[in-house]
Chain A
Amino acid sequence: MNPFPSTEKKETRAGFGDGLLELGKQNQDVVALSADLSGSLKMDAFIGVFPDRFIQVGIAEANMISIAAGLTIGGKIPFTGTFANFSTGRVYDQIRQSVAYSNKNVKICASHAGLTLGEDGATHQILEDIGMMRMLPNMTVIVPCDYNQTRAATLAIADYFGPVYLRFGRPKVPNFTPPDQPFEIGKAQKLVDGEDVTIIATGHMVWQALEAREILLEKGIRAEVINIHTIKPFDEEAVLNSVKKTGCVVTAEEHQRNGGLGDAVAQLLCRYYPAPVEMVAVNDSFGESGKPEELMVKYGLDSAHIIDAALKVGSRHS
């Protein structure tokens, strides 16, 4: 049975909002910015308690990123909040020059990432952001898997000096990791031991991986499940250790196949330990309007597709 029973569903973005409020109490240097999406980012509680440390920038994301970079000069730790689409693609050059290349202590906090944004459709469903961000030197890329982990990650990135991209989402999803967990940037989490196949997942897909593991077990396949909450820096050792044991890998992410977690795993394995890899990811297409769960099924991002991938990669291995 699933060793991580979920008692309730919560939004990962609420984990960000609650983490931000806690940070506000802990660290006087933390300031928050939003580009007219503070409610969607669950920043209201922070704004209520710390109105003087919130900067409403309006619908001007490029301005927001560069203002955040400027705020670091003076010792502030700015957390910017908008949708993932407007946090990355729209402002790539601002992030590249004023944040990453300048190595500024800006935390780019991005909600509504991926298909689970739902009905607003492909204009808002960014599936390329992990790739864009992990290509940038100096950038740390974090994709927590549930509410508790998003809250923990929000707290952890304030204590780390440097640019961070923190990606989370819109819908309520199972909240299965422990409250008040320590969050170690760059450290993979092995959730379940297994010998036959390694499933490496990130974000909303970690729960799907755990569900897939249950079904695979019924079929006599013991899958090891690893949560990669930090895509960069990438925990190479944890992945290599697992794959040396299982010999094959399924990756799962709410992102394009190009540039994401699957790419990071494949890049690692082809250099140090060639092994079959199947990638559960969006295959070079845009999304569309629909309910989040409908979209995840249509675009192949659910436990059924992870199971299929595990069976396929297992046959390639043997």
Chain B
Amino acid sequence: MYDLTAIASQVRRDVIRMISAVQSGHPGGSLGCADFFTVLYFDVLRHNPTTFTMDGKGEDLFFLSNGHLSAAWYSVLARSGYFPVRELGSFRKLNSRLQGHPTTHEGLPGIRMSSGSLGQGLSVGAGAGLAKKMNRDDHLVYVLTGDGELQEGQIWEAAMFAAARKIDNLIVTVDYNNKQIDGPVDQVVSLGNLRAKWEAFGWEVLEMNGNDIPDVQNTLGKARSQCGKEKPVVILMHTEMGFGVDFMMGTHKWHGSAPNAEQTAVALGQLKETVGDY
């Protein structure tokens, strides 16, 4: 059993250190979703990090649709054994496998689809879920999207399709932090009644506090038990953008900005080094 709280703290440290080192990246969403990533990779996924295969037969799959959360994803991939932890230091640098947004292009184990241009991951997950059904592979497909990302029309094409095709091996989590680059999602273009929208599209809808590790564990467990019932599952995951670093919380300003040296020191002072910095 892993100490998930300890790992999540280390993931947050990785995120801050990686982004600070290149003065570039998206800390807010990565911090907000660090608990989710940690639970997913250390408690939920049935996967084989050291023998990564692109087709992922016989494994659960994860797709990051909001690719700008790359820092947190790279951290949990490295720390769960997909590639050496020290490689996190190459994030966003020249000749790195850890590109600004995730890509298969550089052959980084753990990544099966490039993402960054928003709105495509749900369709990809639906396709991968269909392939699993055709292959009679009873493993599951997980997708993370942003909430601002739901403004992309393709998301709703995929939502309609997945319900119509009864793709019930698909668990989508929405990072529902109500923040996007230009401000609160409510003010940019409101999502309205998001639960009612997903329900109307024919999905099983769950909600959780994405910054409460036991709640994330329980809700992902519920989501798994809802699979195989002819409906795809979506979890509205309430998170705080920037969670874990006080001055990054409660604002959309840290969506895509790097902390300076002084801010980095303050942030790291709030995040305990638990399993060792890279």
Contact = CB atoms under 8 A, between A and B. Distances in A.
Given A73-B113, A74-B56, 12 more contacts: A31-B134, A55-B165, A70-B123, A71-B127, A71-B128, A71-B131, A74-B128, A74-B137, A75-B57, A78-B127, A97-B115, A98-B124
Contacts of B126: 63, 67, 70
B92 to A, nearest CB: 17
Contacts of A66: 120-121, 123-124, 127, 154, 158
B135 to A, nearest CB: 6
Interface in B211-263: none
Given A67-B130, A101-B103, A73 B157 contact: no
B112 interface: yes
A200 B175 CA distance: 53
A98 B114 contact: yes
A97 B131 contact: no
A76 interface: yes
Rank and list the top 7 A-B pairs by shortest CB-CB distance, nearest first. A70-B127, A74-B131, A66-B123, A67-B127, A63-B157, A60-B157, A70-B124
A76 B63 CA distance: 18
A74 to B, nearest CB: 3
B104 A102 contact: yes
Contacts of B87: none
B125 interface: yes
Chief secondary structure at chain A's binding surface:
helix
Contacts of B124: 66-67, 69-70, 73, 98
Interface of B: 54-57, 61, 63, 103-105, 112-117, 119-121, 123-132, 134-135, 137, 153-154, 157-158, 160-161, 164-165
A116 to B, nearest CB: 30
A94 interface: yes
Contacts of A98: 113-114, 120, 124
A240 B123 CA distance: 44
Given A63-B158, A98-B124, A70 B113 contact: yes
A53 B131 CA distance: 10
Contacts of B164: 58
B137 A58 contact: no
Nearest to B124: A70
A98 B104 CA distance: 10
A53 B117 CA distance: 29
A68 interface: yes
Interface string A25-42: 000000100000000000
A70 B123 CA distance: 7
B117 to A, nearest CB: 5
B117 A97 contact: yes
Contact of A94 (B63, B112, B120, B129): B120
A183 B132 CA distance: 32
A289 interface: no
A65 to B, nearest CB: 8
Nearest to B104: A102
A52 B131 contact: no
A96 B134 CA distance: 26
Interface string A60-94: 10110111111111111010000000000000011
Contacts of A57: 161
Nearest to B130: A71
Contacts of B115: 97
Contact of A97 (B57, B112, B116, B132): B116
Contacts of B132: 74
A73 B114 contact: no
Contact of A74 (B57, B117, B160, B165): B57
Nearest to B61: A73
22 contacts: A60-B160, A60-B161, A63-B123, A63-B157, A63-B161, A67-B126, A67-B127, A69-B123, A70-B130, A71-B128, A72-B131, A73-B56, A73-B131, A75-B57, A75-B135, A76-B131, A78-B127, A96-B117, A97-B115, A98-B113, A102-B104, A102-B114
B123 A67 contact: yes
Contact of A75 (B55, B114, B158): B55
